[in-house]
Structures are given as C-alpha cells and as structure tokens.
Amino acid sequence: MKRLLGITVCAASVLGIQAQSSKEFADQQSKIDRLYQLLEKSYTTDIDLQKVTEAAIKASLKELDPHSYYLTADEIKQSNESLQGGFDGIGISYILESDTLVVTSLVKDGPAEKAGVLPGDKLIQVDDSLVCGSDEKTRKISQLLRGKKGTRVTTQFVREGEGTKTFEMDRDKIPVYTVPSWYMVNDEIGYVKIVRFGAETGKDFREALKKLKKQGMKKLIVDLQDNSGGYLNTAVDLCDEFLDKEKLIVFTEGKNSPRKDFFAKAGGIFEEGELVVLVNENSASASEILSGAMQDHDRAVLVGRRTYGKGLVQNTFYFSDGSAIRLTTARYFTPSGRCIQKPYDEGTEKYFETLRNRMDSGELTSADSIKMQKELQYATGNKRLVYAAGGVMPDIFVPRDTLEKDSTLRSLNRKNVLYRHCVQYTNTHRRELMKHYQYSFANFLKDFTLPEGYTASLENFSKKLDIPFSFGALNNRQANYVVHFTKANMARMLWDNNEYQQCLNEEDESVKKAIELLTLNKTAVILEK
C-alpha cells in the first residue's frame, strides 16, 4: 500500500497541479491520500490497488490534453523499440493467414535469413510452443520469437512443396528502419522515405543522402506522408541538413518551460538544391517541425494535404515500477511563430474526430473546402502567406484518392484478401516469377503484368473466404488498383521494402506532382511568390 501511495503522490507531483508549497496543491494531495486510506480501511472487499491507481492517473491525464498519457512498463518498452533503433529477435516480418504465421520478408543478414528461412514459410512451432492451428495472437507469437541477444531459439516452418524444416538460430539485434526506402527517380532526382523520427534516423538519413549524391542526385523528394513523428531533436537534426548556419528551426515554450530556440549549424549535406517535402493528414509532430521549418524559410515546396496538427512537446517521467507518464511540457513553434496544434478544448473524443471531420467536409478531396482564418496568417522569409491552421498547409494541394471508399475494394480489404492471396501466390510461384523477369527488379518494374492464371486464382481464393467477386467485372480504376497492389506487394516478397516503395510510388499522386515540379524546375517560382 505504501508503494502505491507513493506512486499516486508522485503522479500528482508530475501532473503539476501547482508548486508543492501551495495550499491548493496540499489540499488536493490530501484528498488523494484520504481516498487510499479509505480504500485500505473501509472498502467492502479487497481491491487491485495497481489497477485503481493506473485508472486514476489515466483519468487525470485525460483532463489535460490528448497527448499526455500513462504507459505500463511493457508499453514503454514497445513504444521505445520503434524509436530506439531496434530490438532483439530473429528478423522476420509476417502476417497471420487464418491461424498460421506466414513470413513476408526477412531482415538482411538477420538470424532467420542466415538460417535459411524464406518468405512464404509458415511458422508452426517456437521451441516447445505450437503456434499453428491455435488461437495464438500476433503479440504472443512475437514474444516467443524475441529474447535476449545471443539466446538460441528452435523454430519449425512448413515450406510449400518441401514439408517441415527446422531452423536453430541465435537471436540478435534487429534494426528498426525509420528510413526504409531511398532511390534515384531519374538521373537527377532522389527520393527518401522517412516513417518515424527515431534515434538512428539522422544517421540513416545522412547515409542515404550521401549515397544518392554519389549517384548524381541534384534534386530531392523527402516523403513524410503518414509519418507520425518521434523525437524533436531528431527533427532538428534533419532540418540542419537543409538550412544555412544560424537559421531558426523551431522554438519551444511552456508555462514551466522557458523558451528554447533550436538553430541550424554549418555543414548540412543538402543546403543547396531543389527540395520537395510530401505531407498528408497523418504527418504529425516531428514531421510538422521539419515541414514547417522548410516552408517558413522558403527552402522547400510542400506537396500534399494539411498535416495532422500536433504541436505539443512531451517529456517522459518514470515511476519506480518501470511505468511512466508522457506529459505535455511545452508547445513548439515554427520559425515564423506558428503553433500548428489543433484545438482540443472540446475534449479528447472530439479532438480525435478531426480527421474524419476533414474528410466529411471535403477538405481532403477539394482545396476549395479548406477555410483559412486571416487572423492565423504568418509570413515566410519571402513574405509568402502561411497559416497556423491546426496543421501545416502545403503549398501545392493533392487530393486524397477516393478509391479507398469503393465498396468492392473495401470488402476485399476487410479480410485482407488481396494481400493474403499475393503472399500465397508469390510463395508458390517464386522461382518462375524471378526467372520470368530475369531476376531483375528493373525488368519487373518496367514490364510487370498479372501472371497468367492470377485473376482466376484470386477469384477462387476470395470465394473460399465468402467474398466472391469477378475481376472481369471491375471497372478500370478498380482493376488498376488490384494490379498495382499486387505489383508492389509481390516486389516486397521477391526483393525488399525499397522495391515495394518504388512500385507504390508509381501511383502516388503526390510523388508524381513532386517529380513534375522538379523536372520542370517550378519550385523556385513557387517559393518566390
């Protein structure tokens, strides 16, 4: 009880109701102490005090803002893994096909690849635990595969046409790539995809830029679409590669956090050269720091749709049991002074409905539906008007593809039919597919068509899942979607994520617009308006 009381008192302190010496703080803290005394001495039955404490903390944080929240020790570990650069495991990506885990890709030089596991292999056992034909959830399987670096794990897979195979391997550090794709679009234009701003992102990004420059890159597309953010310092680090020395990147300020300015240093890798940054409604937090700084300094043309609108800075405060609070301590502001945080005064539920409301209002599909408030106007270095409008507004609007609302495709995607069939088909026909394209991704990218018999196979697969459909009955847009989806996911299974992204980008309207702007040298004209 004393330990839990200590946690609760600590929680009250972290929430910062007021300085500890104030009477108001003391009064509120006494209520919390009194509550736990009553629970211990007067409540009718035994209670789970940890559960009660966590509920109290969560409820308190919910009253503050949408981005202050409580995490258990396990949740903290999982959250950190995606940003810290890796975890210990065997290095496979997979999907659950019915009740069986199917490998979709492997980490290059990871334990599984070295042992001989191939995409399409079906996992049936990990050490003494059967994981096939059971109700094992993905998280449980993941826990079985993970473990301390150097520890041995014995796995059994079923391979199409070859039966059961046993692989023993030693777990190792598995990198989590936050810069999963980079390549040359043509002789001059490079492309880099950033999915998060983690501890290793700056290093990986610089390595990608250096390699692209060696291949002749003079112009660059940085893709931040669907990037949910990450570390503020990493965003600053990346901005530094594009801006001249002493240019303001971002500043933070809060009630108990004095203003702190972050400036660019000398020696950025790409301080000169045309730059386009891609954003959309899911680009948030650190993504908005980078895009906002590039826009305010007229360094890049922003293409896409209004970003998410998260301008709050969180710090992590740990408890003795490993759990923690991510608490908002400040707001961040772009160089022009914009705070792009969208309002949350109507509560958390309304706040998280914002994206749906943007879709319903037509904002994601029509630039004319976007309403700008004149009082939220700011100016860039070139005196271009920009807005603090609950997100960063791009310079060039690209509407969201409405095909996602198509009823036929939604029914197929609801049970992941297209992806599951693609994995199964590619695994079965891997050798003949590679031979057909002469083991060359360039040939695949240029000449891909659906293999003979693929649509019939897909129709039969779909029918078995009680989602019958006819490929021949699809309209041109629907059919193109199926072909493009298959091409991209087949590329990932036959090669890797870089090839997958190149295939995806063939039909990405924002990428196509960026290539057009850079090819026709239009960025300078836009930035000088």
7-16, 36-45, 320-329, 336-345: least confidently modelled range: 7-16
pLDDT at 136: 58
Chain segment 48-61, per-residue pLDDT in tens: 988 999 999 999 99
**CB neighbourhood size of 374 (10 A):** 7
User: In this predicted structure, what is the pLDDT of residue 131?
Assistant: 84
List of E strands, 363-431: 377-379, 385-387, 396-397
Which whole-number Å values give the CA distances from 119 to 12, 89, 167, 421, 457, in the listed order? 50, 17, 14, 14, 20
How high is the mean pLDDT of the chain? 90
pLDDT at 449: 97
Place of tokens 């305010």: 296
- Per-residue confidence (pLDDT) for residue 87, from 0 to 100: 87
Distance CA 125, CA 141 (A): 10
Residue 494 has pLDDT above 60, yes or no: yes
CB neighbours of 159 closer than 8 A, spacing ≥ 6? 118, 120, 121, 122, 165
**22 φ, ψ (degrees, to nearest 5):** -75, 150
The DSSP line for 299-314 is: -SEEEES------EEE
How far apart CA 321 and CA 221 sit, in angstroms, is: 44
Provide mean pLDDT across the span 266-282: 96
317 three-class SS: strand
The pLDDT value recorded for residue 462 is 93
> Is 455's pLDDT higher than 90?
yes
Question: 374 pLDDT band (50/70/90 cuts)?
Answer: low
Residue 329 has pLDDT above 90, yes or no: yes
Residues in the chain: 529
Model confidence pLDDT, tens digit, residues 218-255: 999 999 999 999 999 999 999 999 999 999 999 999 99
As a whole number of angstroms, the distance between CA 89 and CA 123 comes to 15
State how far the Cα of 40 lies from the Cα of 1, in Å rounded to an integer. 8
Q: End-to-end CA distance of the chain: give it in Å, rounded.
A: 65
The backbone torsions φ and ψ at residue 67, rounded to the nearest 5 degrees and listed phi first, read -115, 10
Could you tell me how far CA 75 lies from the centroid of its own chain? Answer: 17
446 pLDDT higher than 50: yes
- The CA-atom distances, in angstroms, between 67 and each of 101, 147, 296, 351, 478 are 34, 31, 25, 11, 38
Average pLDDT over residues 110-123: 90
Q: Output 109 or 82, whichever has higher pLDDT.
A: 109
Q: List all residues 6 or more positions away from 382 whose beta carbon is below 8 Å from its beta carbon.
A: 298, 527, 528, 529
Residues 86-175, CATH architecture: Roll (2.30)
pLDDT tens, residue by residue, 391-441: 999 999 999 998 878 889 988 888 889 998 998 899 889 999 999 999 999
Q: What pLDDT, on the 0 to 100 scale, is given for residue 447?
A: 97
pLDDT in tens, 184-205: 999 999 999 999 999 999 999 9
Give me the sign of the Cα torsion angle 13, 14, 19, 25: negative
Poorest-confidence range of 3-7, 213-217, 235-239, 273-277? 3-7
Per the CATH hierarchy, to which homologous superfamily does domain 181-397 belong? Answer: 2-enoyl-CoA Hydratase; Chain A, domain 1 (3.90.226.10)
Write down the pLDDT at residue 141.
82
* Residues identified as active-site: 285, 296, 310
Highest mean predicted confidence (pLDDT) among 79-93, 161-175, 472-486: 472-486
Q: What is the mean pLDDT of residues 37-57?
A: 90
Q: Rounded to an integer, what distance in angstroms lies between the CA atom of residue 130 and that of residue 98?
A: 15
Cα-based torsion angle of the residue sequence 38, 41, 43, 48 in order, rounded to the nearest 10 degrees? 90
Give me the residue spans of the domains in the chain.
2-63, 86-175, 181-397, 403-495
112 CB-side CA count, 13 A: 28
Residues 185 and 218: their CA atoms lie apart, in Å, by 11
Q: Is residue 12 predicted with pLDDT exceeding 80?
A: no
Residue 372 has pLDDT above 80, yes or no: no
Closest CA to 172 of 155, 142, 149: 149
∠ CA 81-52-142, nearest 5°, is: 25
Q: How far apart are CA 28 and CA 32, in angstroms?
A: 7
From residue 405, how far is each of 2, 16, 60 by CA, in Å?
A: 54, 45, 38
Confidence (pLDDT) at 371: 75
Residue, of 519 and 88, whose pLDDT is higher:
519
**DSSP 8-state class, residue 86:** E
pLDDT score of 104: 80
For strand 312-318 and strand 324-333, is the pairing parallel, antiparallel, or unpaired? Answer: antiparallel
